[in-house]
Amino acid sequence: MTAYVNDEQKKEGAYGKAVKATLAATLAAGMVPAAAAFADEPAEAAEGNDVEVLAATPEQAWKAGNFTAVDNNGKTVVDKVKYDEFKTVEFANDGKAHWVVPTVASLAGDTVSEDLKNKDLYKVTYYKQANGAGAAVAEADFEKTFSAKGDYSVVVEGKADTAYAGQKITINFSVGSKSLKDAKVYQVAEDKKDVSDKTFTYTGKAIKFDGTDLNLEIGGEALEYGTDYTAEVYPLNEGNKADALNAGTYLAKIAGVGNYAGENITLKFDVEAMDLASAAIKLELNAADKVYVDAATVDGVSILGDTVIECTSRPDSWYGNTQSVGEYVFKISAKQDSKNVKGSVSKTEIVATNSVDVLYDGVALTDKTIDLAKKQSFDLDKLVVTKKGEPQTKLDPKKDYAVEVYDADGKKVDAASLKKAGKWTVKVVVNAKATEYAYAGEASAKVTVYSDTVNTTNVFFKQDGKVVDAVEKDYDGADLLKALSATVLDSEGKALTAGTDYTVVAQKKVDGKFIDVDSIVDKGEYQLVVKSDTYNVGNEVLKITVKEVVADTLRIAPEFFLETDKVSYTGEALVPTVQYQAGTDKDGKAVWKDLPADTYKLSYKYDKDGKAPSEDVKEIKEVGKYSVTVADAADDNFAVSGTPKNNVFSVTAEKDFVDVPNTEWYYQYVKNANKVGYMTGIGGTKLFAPNEATSRAMAATVLSRMAGGTIGNGTGIFDNPFTDVTYTGVEATDPWYATYVLWAADTRIVTGYEQADGTAQFRPEANVTRAEFCVMMQRYAKAIGKDVALEAGEADKILAKYDDGAAVADWAKEAVAWAVKNEIFGGYSLLNPAGDITRAEMAKMTTEFQAAPLTK
């Protein structure tokens, strides 16, 4: 041990007296269990112990020291940093939890190392805000809290009965926004998952950056406009916002939202000029004079203002009258000053005496759906081309027109393809020249060929394997899509294969239309649809509604209070958790759930003297009376309204136990264990001794209290297998633990230590290790009828995740793995199986496993 004393104390040889006086004062104030009191001289000062006396105060040594910390995965994030030189440790927002674990203080010129993880010497507290502000974070909430974006801090403080009492360090750390630095702009395709198109071309129509025309992607994954980001578009070197319309360079100012909040980037993108050579230009010739063009459009947008159009070839018979038939060739070129179109192209327009009708089976050719299972087919012989309005005047199929077939990608294929399932286009084109320009024209139709047509009665939508007609649920944060599926039968009742024969797609209604989505989580209208290129599955849909949670019955979480209307003063700002009533259980009791912190806003009124609160304050901190008001924070999945039932309370200096501050991770567990009667104070005092080791007798006692008389022989009279446990059945003369120990032995929750003479000892005063208590807990669970079985090899897999998993003894492996699996043990990267279990740790394990005693 290293002790720091001042020069005056050294001169008078006052070290021992000073330490004793400090401990005596602390004990008198009720801060240390009696078991922790020292003899006349401190053990550390006895002969033969290494005591280093340095001429510096603890504060001086602390502030001159270097500090080291790792993250929760053991990676060094603070490496011997001076007391006043800490910088915020920044973690990326990758969906995983990250926090800082202070490890070592190197003091007195690195000659002394202090283990900051030693709970007997140091108190370590995590907070939801930087600089030790905001609510303390319980160990059980680390994974949830520190996986979200935010600024946090960890404070290490020397405990009252140690050399560095009151000395502290604060390390701030932050979990940042997800980064937008690798975001890229892409053109939204019909396939919402296709993010490959990074080129943008002038079309004459505004290209909106709202997730419908332009969107962002990172690593091939599309972001969601409004949920992940918002965008403002500016033409380069211009100050006013504008959609990307004309060709040119634009700047998109991106502001992150949600998990990307705080991320602001600017992306440059170019809208290229329309290349006339590849544009689908439609010309409209002047009726009186065919060499002039009245209109030139691309997808309905005029390009006349950006082009020069001249007729470069006309029929020999043309003399400036409307009757001149033949081919007219036009050269369409971009104007010199046009920035929206480029290049040139020649386009041939045919003028014929007559137009045509294209008929299929005697009627105008239209889109067709073919079901091969019904022996249907598209018969090219049924195609007929006639003079318009005169069906009896037919063109010669051998020379006057041609029939072409194209696949879904526009590639020309053999006509035999129409006999296979797929999506095809049949195009009929008149050879005007072959008819000496008596006829001209073309027509096309989409022909969808299916292997079979599925009746709507053969499409079954399911939720968790059960057939449903519609789904309606309140928002709960879960992805409903994972529970939904569809079964499709062909016309003969044979089940088709999902993923091969058909796909199931979720869609959400946005701005009046349904768009494909990857999940069904947030409030809104959705539908599930079945799609197939092979089978005609019709338009059967499953209507889905996710409703916002109406949170209008509120309360402040009881765990916030020391008593019903009291909160312990800590010197730090206190933030209550608001809960809403989420229905009732099978016994009619209200079920309460925490409201997500970002769904509501809190405001406070305060009165120092404990009268009706009237002064507006920003935080709950000082002793006095407070009232809390809750308001809805945003348009989200929760509609928050109402006044919490227990919104008026006092901050008081009173505590359940004077050595259990409510800033400690174990505060709530100790409070719960005491409240339900599992554990009490030391000797009936206001001391709990949270960091003291727990005896075997106490472990048996706690487990007996948990059972509440529901298991055992029911007589209260037991055989005594132990030579070191006195038991007469008379409570007044037996040790306080006798009945509890023998009950635990009778129910096979505990066993003894076999001696050489064949007898057995219980060793009631011996400490219980963490692994031993896991064994007792597993046996208790089995005794009350809980399933404790693990799958073959499961224990090894669970323990392998811990740095010291191999240190768990064979006799304890299954029990320790069971405790980890049930989330009552193993919150850090180390299990420490051979370490003594503390009273605070026992309070956590027992209350996490079973919140209240069992009843008959």
The 3-class SS string of 438-504 reads CECCEEEEEEEEECEECCHHHEEEEECCEECCEEEEECCCCCHHHHEEEEEECCCCCECCECCCEEE
Question: What CA–CA distances, in Å, run from 668 to 210, 565, 674, 846?
Answer: 47, 16, 10, 12
Residues 677 and 792 in one domain: yes
- Please compute the mean of the pLDDT values over residues 86-94 and round it to a whole number: 86
Q: Is residue 659 in some structural domain?
A: no
Q: Is residue 480 in some structural domain?
A: yes
- Please compute the mean of the pLDDT values over residues 662-681 and round it to a whole number: 86
Residues 672 and 787 in one domain: yes
- Please compute the mean of the pLDDT values over residues 559-576 and round it to a whole number: 80
Q: Which residues contact 766 (CB under 8 A, 6 or more apart)?
A: 695, 696
Is the model's pLDDT at 1 over the cut of 60? no
Question: What CA–CA distances, in Å, run from 392 to 173, 384, 398?
Answer: 85, 10, 17
Model confidence at 667, pLDDT cuts 50, 70, 90, reads confident
Helix axes 770-783, 839-849, angle to 10 degrees: 30
Beta carbons of 640 and 630 less than 8 angstroms apart? yes
* Cα R_g (the chain), whole angstroms: 40
**Sequence-distant contacts of 190-196: CB under 8 A, at least 24 apart:** 192/222, 192/515, 192/516, 193/222, 193/516, 195/220, 195/221, 195/222
Residues 306 and 404 in one domain: no
Model confidence at 6, pLDDT cuts 50, 70, 90, reads very low
Residues 293 and 152 in one domain: no
Q: Is residue 660 in some structural domain?
A: no
pLDDT for the residue numbered 27 = 36
How is the beta sheet containing 89-91 ordered, strand by strand? 89-91, 168-175, 150-158, 122-127
Domain count, the chain: 8
AA identity, residue 418: L
Domain membership of residue 12 as a residue range: 1-55
- CA gap 634, 154 in Å, rounded: 30
Is the model's pLDDT at 714 over the cut of 90? no
Beta carbons of 296 and 307 less than 8 angstroms apart? yes
Residues 771-825 have pLDDT tens digits of: 999 999 999 999 999 988 999 999 999 999 998 999 999 999 999 999 999 989 9
- CA gap 80, 62 in Å, rounded: 13
pLDDT for the residue numbered 56 = 61
Q: Is residue 136 in some structural domain?
A: yes
- Express as a percent the part of the chain with pLDDT over 90: 61
How is the beta sheet containing 541-547 ordered, strand by strand? 470-474, 541-547, 524-531, 503-510, 513-517
- Which stretch of DSSP H or E encloses residue 92? none
- Please compute the mean of the pLDDT values over residues 102-112 and round it to a whole number: 79
Is the model's pLDDT at 9 over the cut of 50? no
Residues 627 and 731 in one domain: no
Is the model's pLDDT at 499 over the cut of 50? yes
Model confidence at 43, pLDDT cuts 50, 70, 90, reads very low
Domain boundary among the residues 176, 197, 224 is at: 176
Q: What single DSSP character describes residue 191?
A: S
- Share the mean pLDDT of the chain: 87
Is the model's pLDDT at 294 over the cut of 50? yes
Residues 215 and 281 in one domain: no
Domain boundary among the residues 387, 417, 450 is at: 450
- CA gap 171, 158 in Å, rounded: 15
Question: What CA–CA distances, in Å, run from 777 to 111, 784, 841?
Answer: 43, 11, 13
Question: What CA–CA distances, in Å, run from 328 to 189, 210, 313, 710?
Answer: 36, 43, 6, 100
pLDDT for the residue numbered 22 = 34
Query: DSSP letters of 195-216?
Result: -----EE--SS-B-TTTTSEEE
Residue-wise over 131-140: b if at least 16 C-beta within 10 A, else e? Answer: ebbbbbbbbb
Is the model's pLDDT at 600 over the cut of 60? yes
Q: What single DSSP character describes residue 838?
A: B
CA pseudo-torsion sign 138, 143, 149, 154: positive
Q: Which alpha helices (H) appear in 118-177, and where do they start and end?
A: 142-145
> Residue 556: which of 569, 572, 583, 574 has the closest Cα?
574
AA identity, residue 549: V
Return the structure tokens found at 674: 């005491």
Q: Is residue 315 in some structural domain?
A: yes
Q: What single DSSP character describes residue 351?
A: E
- Please compute the mean of the pLDDT values over residues 752-758 and round it to a whole number: 91
CA pseudo-torsion sign 810, 813, 814, 816: positive
Question: What CA–CA distances, in Å, run from 763 to 207, 306, 309, 704, 759?
Answer: 80, 98, 105, 18, 13
Q: Is residue 856 in some structural domain?
A: no
Beta carbons of 289 and 328 less than 8 angstroms apart? no
Residues 732 and 758 in one domain: yes
Q: What is the CATH number of the domain that holds 512?
A: 2.60.40.10
Return the structure tokens found at 493: 């009742």
Is the model's pLDDT at 729 over the cut of 70? yes
AA identity, residue 454: V
Question: What CA–CA distances, in Å, run from 19 to 24, 43, 55, 216, 411?
Answer: 9, 11, 16, 65, 92
pLDDT for the residue numbered 20 = 35
- Please compute the mean of the pLDDT values over residues 235-247 and round it to a whole number: 90
Return the structure tokens found at 787: 């399933």
**CB neighbourhood size of 16 (10 A):** 16
Q: Which residues contact 850 (CB under 8 A, 6 or more apart)?
A: 706
Query: DSSP letters of 243-277?
Result: -B-SSEEEEEEEEE-GGGTT-EEEEEEEEEPEEGG
Query: How far apart are the two ends of the chain, measured CA to CA in Å?
Result: 52
Lowest-pLDDT range of 113-117, 352-356, 714-718: 714-718
Beta carbons of 749 and 703 less than 8 angstroms apart? yes
Is the model's pLDDT at 496 over the cut of 90? yes
Model confidence at 228, pLDDT cuts 50, 70, 90, reads confident
Question: What CA–CA distances, in Å, run from 500 to 433, 483, 497?
Answer: 47, 20, 6
- CA gap 343, 332 in Å, rounded: 9
How is the beta sheet containing 356-360 ordered, strand by strand? 363-364, 356-360, 383-387, 390-394
pLDDT for the residue numbered 47 = 32
> Residue 92: which of 263, 231, 209, 306 has the closest Cα?
263
Beta carbons of 759 and 721 less than 8 angstroms apart? no
SS3 406: strand
AA identity, residue 612: A
Residues 616 and 646 in one domain: yes
- Please compute the mean of the pLDDT values over residues 690-715 and round it to a whole number: 90
Strands 2-5, 52-55: parallel, antiparallel or unpaired by DSSP? parallel
Residues 645 and 621 in one domain: yes
Q: Is residue 662 in some structural domain?
A: no
Is the model's pLDDT at 70 over the cut of 60? yes
- The owner of tokens 């009929």 is 428
Model confidence at 738, pLDDT cuts 50, 70, 90, reads very high
Beta carbons of 679 and 837 less than 8 angstroms apart? no
Residues 819 and 685 in one domain: yes
Q: Is residue 661 in some structural domain?
A: no
Q: Phi and psi at residue 97, in whole multiples of 5°?
A: -80, 140
Residues 566 and 627 in one domain: yes
- CA gap 648, 338 in Å, rounded: 71
- CA gap 306, 259 in Å, rounded: 44
Is the model's pLDDT at 26 over the cut of 80? no
Domain boundary among the residues 301, 328, 351 is at: 351
AA identity, residue 562: L
Query: DSSP letters of 725-775?
Result: S---S-TTTS-TTHHHHHHHHHTTS---EE-TTS-EE--TTSBPBHHHHHH
pLDDT for the residue numbered 36 = 32
Residues 598 and 524 in one domain: no
